[in-house]
Chain A
């Protein structure tokens, strides 16, 4: 029933005859009818009540208004109609009226309404005056369901800002009473209240919106502030730096834990105002502080600077601080304070270690330099300048370097530079070279370079250069003495090999003479025996070559020569020595038993020197057995592989050694032979040691002794000459010149 009244404008159903407007109006009756006497007191009371209702509860004003209308006019139903767009809220551009409040019998119809252009309220607004209707449902059929029917309905328009926004109305549902002029007057007066009520409501709605928006804005700001505050708090509470709040009067108004710890004060001290900026600052730093204040006043901030603070106990802490005012021309600000103690400690430790390094370099006569390959930047340490006898700090160029390096070794430097540049991977290498000083003295240098990457990832070499002149000269002197000694030992050995040498040479010589004689006789025959003569001549030449070879070999073994380095097969070397000494051994009745290993690794060293050692051991063994008659004079020469070393042992069944003499025998001038000089074994041991091996003696289980030496095998790949790995200056005497 109510729905039809709430719906859109109801099209006029032409099948239902509707009364004309004039037929339902009887407005002029108002003036004709006798009027009630006004009840001003009641009216006043009602108006007062209405006024206070307006003030107290704006949302129920319409209901109160409806009730007041009904009360004063003593009608059956009273209410308001307001223009609306959505049917729920007033809107001046509405195309409908809705009833926000109804008092009396029509109360159940609250919320209903009428169309703007076809209804009683519409008529009132169209005519812009009070209208009295009777049974308007005769014209407006949609009102028919609205019960009880309206016998008479008095409607009065009301305005807001000169615009009609609705009506107030009263309805009589029976003949009990008829509306009169008094009702008209009262309604008009109440119309004004309705107007105020409308405006008030509109105002309230607007206010509500504004308040809601402002609350929203405030909430956003609060949120923002909370967020910011949280972030700032995070910084402060993280205590990664000290944070202090202060004012320009010098007071400290707030500080985080980090700052308190730094200066060893507690919150109490600060809060009490006992501690001010100036109290914390040592006198010599006050000037900086004043400068900072001046900057604050001028620019609102001060740039970070270093100073010191007093701690509570009077000690000092080095700090870095920077800060700003909260507002440009304000009085309060904040500063960060960074504790520099660690940094200062590190700096001082660094200075100390730099001093140690410089001193160490000086003591060891070791200079150092760095070479940045890409830019060719070379930096020298002070000691290197001193070694080169150049002015410390002078720029280092290739010219400068060349002016000092020995002319014969300059190419080495160039080569090293090229190698350093092309080795993108960067490997460590070392080399030796000489300097030729202005006074023509020579210095020997030993350099070691380490490839590294600097902080930009660029290849850089850090090298250490040591002046090894003194050591080199001492080595050379020692080597010379040693080689003299070795020569003497060899000559002694030579003397003991007379039988062998004689044998080796006389065999081919004998062959030569015999064959030549035979040749002559064959050619003198009649007829000459040319073929067979030719054969004897061939043999002669062959034996001549044999003799020549023997001499060469002997020469090689006994000539004083510098040490050479080559790959040596100890088995072959031993066999040659055996061949050389065979005659003597046989003369001494020695029975040789070679036990040579098949898998003996090659060693690197001086073949001749190693053969001298083997010969020395063999002859010693032979001598040791010279008095042995009750058993075969067996001499075992054994080679065997020992992990990555080759071992050779010469074992005899002779007189042996005293247990205490097992090491003593290697001492120089130790001998049990009359007429012996006793240098053979000591020289042998030093030869072996120069080959990075060792030579030792052991007693057999039975009679006799065994002398063994073991030498490291040739490492893989080192048999090739890899000049880069170890660049040797050509003219420098190799160690162990013999």
Chain B
């Protein structure tokens, strides 16, 4: 497995994807690569935290509902660790109230599946270049 440190040598920005759904881990990295990002995908919050990519990650695409540590749980954990990684939540559950709460907790965006490629790009840009 390539280490995150090597990737950053090519000067691509690292975006990490955390989602327990296999098809997301399949499709999102390819799209993000087309956008020019470096991408790493993790199947659980725990796996992400255990990896060596946490510091390198410039933007986190995070699933909300996951077994074990949920998306919001990871958000809280990162706050606790004072890792200020911008988080874009992705979820299949169109719940406006939850979205509101997540953004109040500091998420950059909460995208509802299915989302368009442009919506994704906009969100990532927002995350990387906060106004």
* A interface list, Cβ under 8 A from B: 499, 502-503, 506-515, 517-518, 521-522, 525, 532, 536, 539, 543, 583, 586-587
Q: A517-B117, A583-B65 are in contact. Are A539 and B92 (CB under 8 A)?
A: no
Q: B31 in the interface, Cβ–Cβ < 8 Å?
A: yes
- The answer to whether A506 touches B113 (Cβ under 8 A) is yes
Identity of the chain A residue whose Cβ is nearest the Cβ of B65 in the assembled complex: A586
- The answer to whether B94 touches A521 (Cβ under 8 A) is no
Please pick, from A503, A512, A522, the residue contacting B92 in the complex, using a CB distance under 8 A.
A503
- The answer to whether B31 touches A517 (Cβ under 8 A) is yes
Q: A513-B114, A514-B117 are in contact. Are A507 and B21 (CB under 8 A)?
A: yes
Give A583 to B113 CA distance when docked, in angstroms.
14
What are 17 sample pairs from A and B whose C-beta atoms fall under 8 A apart?
A506-B92, A506-B113, A507-B21, A510-B113, A511-B23, A513-B114, A513-B116, A513-B117, A514-B24, A514-B27, A514-B31, A514-B117, A518-B30, A525-B34, A536-B27, A583-B93, A587-B93
Q: B28 in the interface, Cβ–Cβ < 8 Å?
A: yes
Give A536 to B27 CA distance when docked, in angstroms.
7
Provide the residues of chain A in CB contact with B116, threshold 8 Å.
513, 517
Q: Given contacts A506-B92, A513-B114, list 15 more A-B pairs with CB under 8 A.
A: A502-B92, A502-B94, A506-B113, A507-B23, A507-B24, A508-B23, A510-B92, A511-B26, A514-B24, A515-B27, A517-B31, A518-B31, A521-B34, A539-B26, A543-B23
Give A587 to B112 CA distance when docked, in angstroms.
16
* B interface list, Cβ under 8 A from A: 21, 23-24, 26-28, 30-31, 34, 65, 67, 92-94, 112-117, 120
- The answer to whether A518 touches B26 (Cβ under 8 A) is no
Identity of the chain B residue whose Cβ is nearest the Cβ of A517 in the assembled complex: B117
Please pick, from A502, A518, A522, the residue contacting B27 in the complex, using a CB distance under 8 A.
A518
Give A256 to B27 CA distance when docked, in angstroms.
115
Provide the residues of chain B in CB contact with A532, threshold 8 Å.
30
- The answer to whether B31 touches A539 (Cβ under 8 A) is no
Please pick, from B93, B114, B117, B120, the residue contacting A509 in the complex, using a CB distance under 8 A.
B114
- The answer to whether B23 touches A518 (Cβ under 8 A) is no
Provide the residues of chain B in CB contact with A543, threshold 8 Å.
23
B73 to chain A, nearest CB (A): 12
| 7 shortest interchain CB distances as A-B pairs | A517-B117, A510-B113, A510-B114, A506-B92, A514-B27, A521-B34, A511-B23
Q: A518-B30, A536-B27 are in contact. Are A502 and B93 (CB under 8 A)?
A: yes
Give A499 to B116 CA distance when docked, in angstroms.
21
Provide the residues of chain A in CB contact with B24, threshold 8 Å.
507, 510-511, 514
Identity of the chain A residue whose Cβ is nearest the Cβ of B23 in the assembled complex: A511
Identity of the chain B residue whose Cβ is nearest the Cβ of A525 in the assembled complex: B34
Identity of the chain B residue whose Cβ is nearest the Cβ of A542 in the assembled complex: B23
Give A532 to B117 CA distance when docked, in angstroms.
17
Please pick, from B30, B93, B114, the residue contacting A512 in the complex, using a CB distance under 8 A.
B114
Provide the residues of chain B in CB contact with A507, threshold 8 Å.
21, 23-24, 92, 113
A35 to chain B, nearest CB (A): 177
Give A464 to B17 CA distance when docked, in angstroms.
74
- The answer to whether A510 touches B115 (Cβ under 8 A) is yes
Provide the residues of chain B in CB contact with A587, threshold 8 Å.
65, 93
Provide the residues of chain B in CB contact with A522, threshold 8 Å.
30, 34
Identity of the chain A residue whose Cβ is nearest the Cβ of B112 in the assembled complex: A506
- The answer to whether A536 touches B65 (Cβ under 8 A) is no
Give A510 to B19 CA distance when docked, in angstroms.
13
Give A502 to B113 CA distance when docked, in angstroms.
9
B17 to chain A, nearest CB (A): 11
A183 to chain B, nearest CB (A): 169
B23 to chain A, nearest CB (A): 4
Give A218 to B27 CA distance when docked, in angstroms.
132
Give A513 to B114 CA distance when docked, in angstroms.
7
- The answer to whether A521 touches B65 (Cβ under 8 A) is no
Provide the residues of chain B in CB contact with A536, threshold 8 Å.
27, 30
Give A511 to B31 CA distance when docked, in angstroms.
11
B120 to chain A, nearest CB (A): 8
Interface centre among B30, B115, B116, B120 (most CB of A within 10 A): B30
Give A536 to B30 CA distance when docked, in angstroms.
8
